Amino acid sequence: MAPMIQDNVEVNPANNHTTKPKPYTKLEETKLQDIASKKLINYGTKFERDIIVRSSGLYVYSAAGHKVLDWTSGQMSCLVGHGHPEVVKTIADHAANLDHLFSGMLSPPVLSLADRLTSVLPDGLDKAFFLSTGGESNEAAIKMAKVYTGKFEVVGLGASWHGMTAQALGAQYHFGRKGQGPVMPGMHMLPPPNTYRSIFRNSDGSYDWEKELDYGWDLIDRASCGSLAACIVECIQSSAGMHVLPTGYLKALKKHCEQRGMLLIVDEAQTGIGRCGDLFASVNFEGVVPDILTLSKTLGNGIPLSAVVTSNEIERVCSERDYCFYTTHVNDPLPAAVGDKVLEIVLRDNLVENSRLRGSQLRDGLLKLQQKYGCIGDVRGRGLMCGVEIVGDQKAKSPAIALARQIADKMYELGLWANLSSHSSFGGVFRIAPPIVITAQEIQDGLEIMQEAFRTTEGTMPLTT
């Protein structure tokens, strides 16, 4: 008997099991766009025109049949690729048998993930709990720091992105602060560490981040009411345009925090679980153990999952002081099982090393492209997180957002997606963060598409033929 179609899936009548997704080949893209314009609320982004109907491995596919190499891992999240068979099986198994529980109930996936995660972290990152989004985990971490220290002021970095909940947004200085009245009280900002554009320079023209950091803390000390609780930071400011913290910056930041009795929260939503060529950017590359570590995006491979990890001592004190972050989906078994599987795959398949090797290949290719086109002002990044900044003048470093959009459109037409935003603090930078299962050939394929996009877009200022 032939399979029958039911609700966009094919069902085998012999065993009533789903066999594969129903293809969307008959959908009219113009009709879908009409629905989008009439029925969807705009939440702060311009919707892309294509309707994506399938994703697999390193690729996404539109309703019109356009195949695109996904160099942003969805929303920087699909660490081991779209539809990884082991992740798919984990989701299916737990959807059928152990999906969601009362928040006070424990389950093996949650315990296994907590054990596996803390076992690859150093002493001082001893206990974890699990939530749904990066904003939620940062909100929980900031509240934890306030409860532990008994203070309320929080320091963030300029151009940072930590989420859209109240305290996370209060420490965020990239986008989304306008239109809602006052943010949380006691929020302070350090200057954004921007090696390419900072005005703080040594006599030889190199970036003097130490003077900039000391200057920022001097301003905060003057503004503070004496209740500094925490500083929250990303190791790579991705939303700001892939700005990497200078070597030594995080250690210096930790010292500043210790001198003021503050906790250091490191947000590794994008840098964690191998993306940067190290399992964790703060611990494994910078050699800094945060007081609180938050994870999200990469941990769930696109499934809503985040984590808060801290020390035995901080957990003990917060527990004694009735710390509460009780949510509907705290420690849910299904997403925890996915996170446990993702971490297992990354460690088992040596994907951290693959991220390091393929990241080196990617950066070499982007630097060669920079030598050919004067519109590429800067190439930066670490591992498989890279930024390519488009400028209208090399010396003045003037942003060329319109040109960047033309290049992005051509890249997409040729089959490559790399995120570009026009926000003023972003400056027309391509953010590149492919799944860390990417192969050498897939890196090469993407670089060739980029080369063709630059070659065929007017105004890219070719330097060589």
Name which of 297, 158, 240, 198 is nearest 421 in CA terms: 240
Q: Are residues 46 and 141 in the same domain?
A: no
Q: Which of 348, 373, 401 is the last residue of a domain?
A: 348
Predicted local distance difference test score (pLDDT) of residue 423: 65
Do residues 113 and 218 share a domain?
yes
Q: By three-state DSSP, how is residue 365 classified? A: helix
Query: Given this model, what pLDDT does residue 21 score?
Result: 54
Task: Tell me whether residue 152 is in a domain.
Answer: yes
- Residues 40 and 94 reside in one and the same domain: no
Residue 462 lies in a domain: no
Q: Which of 291, 314, 348 is the last residue of a domain?
A: 348
**pLDDT at 237 > cutoff 60:** yes
Q: Are both 58 and 166 inside the same structural domain?
A: no
Residues 214 and 281 in one domain: yes
pLDDT value of position 13 = 44
Residue at 464 is within a domain? no
Rounded Cα distance between 121 and 189, Å, is 29
Q: What is the mean pLDDT of residues 370-378?
A: 97
Among candidate residues 331, 348, 365, the one where a domain is terminated: 348
What pLDDT does residue 307 have? 98
Residue 164 resides in a domain: yes
Instruction: Looking at the structure, tell me whether residues 384 and 404 fall in a common domain.
Output: yes
Each residue's pLDDT tens digit, 381-429: 999 999 999 999 999 999 999 999 999 999 999 999 998 876 666 668 9
**68 and 98: one domain?**
no
Mean pLDDT score of the chain, rounded to an integer?
A: 92
Grade residue 434 by pLDDT with cuts at 50, 70 and 90: very high
Regarding whether 382 and 248 lie in a shared domain, the answer is no
Please check whether residues 287 and 370 belong to one and the same domain: no
Look at residue 36 in the predicted model and tell me its pLDDT.
Answer: 87
**One of 70, 153, 208, 234 is an active-site residue; which one?**
234
252 lies in some domain:
yes
Q: 90: closest CA among 297, 302, 294, 274?
A: 302
Q: What is the pLDDT of residue 381?
A: 96
Mean pLDDT of 330-342: 98
**Exactly one of 278, 380, 431, 442 is catalytic; which is it?**
431
* Structure letter (DSSP) for residue 23: P
- Given 297, 341, 380, 410, the catalytic residue: 297
217, 270, 286, 341: the active-site residue: 270
Q: Could you confirm whether 270 is annotated as catalytic? A: yes
Cα–Cα nearest to 82, from 50, 51, 58? 58
Alpha-carbon torsion angle 84, 90, 96, 99, nearest 10: -110
Question: Catalytic site residue 217?
Answer: no
Write the CATH number for 301. Answer: 3.40.640.10
Per residue in 69-127, pLDDT (tens digit) is 999 999 999 999 999 999 999 999 999 999 999 999 999 999 999 999 999 999 999 99
Average pLDDT over residues 53-57: 95
How far apart are the C-alpha atoms of 215 and 209, rounded to whole Å?
10
Report if residue 463 sits inside a domain: no
pLDDT of residue 12: 46
How do residues 21-45 score in pLDDT, each as one tens digit? 555 555 577 888 888 889 999 887 7
Whether 77 and 126 map to the same domain: the answer is no
Number of domains in the chain: 2
Query: Can you give the pLDDT at residue 195?
Result: 95
Place of tokens 């966009």: 8
Q: What is the pLDDT of residue 64?
A: 87
- State which residues form the domain around 8: 4-84+351-456
The catalytically annotated residue of 136, 139, 161, 291 is 161
Whole-model pTM?
0.92
Each residue's pLDDT tens digit, 261-291: 999 999 999 999 999 999 999 999 999 999 9
Residue 338 reports pLDDT greater than 60: yes
- Asked if 297 is an active-site residue, the reply is yes
Same domain flag for 326 and 356: no
Q: Is residue 162 part of a domain?
A: yes
Top pLDDT among 54 and 178 is at: 54
Active site residue 161: yes
**Looking at residue 7, what is its pLDDT?**
38
| Residue at 127 is within a domain | yes
Q: Is 234 a catalytic residue?
A: yes
**Residue 378 sits in a domain of what CATH number?**
3.90.1150.10
Choose, from 50, 139, 208, 267, the residue flagged as catalytic: 267
Look at residue 243 in the predicted model and tell me its pLDDT.
Answer: 94
Residue 3 pLDDT: 33
Is 172 catalytic? The answer is no
263 lies in the same domain as 359 = no
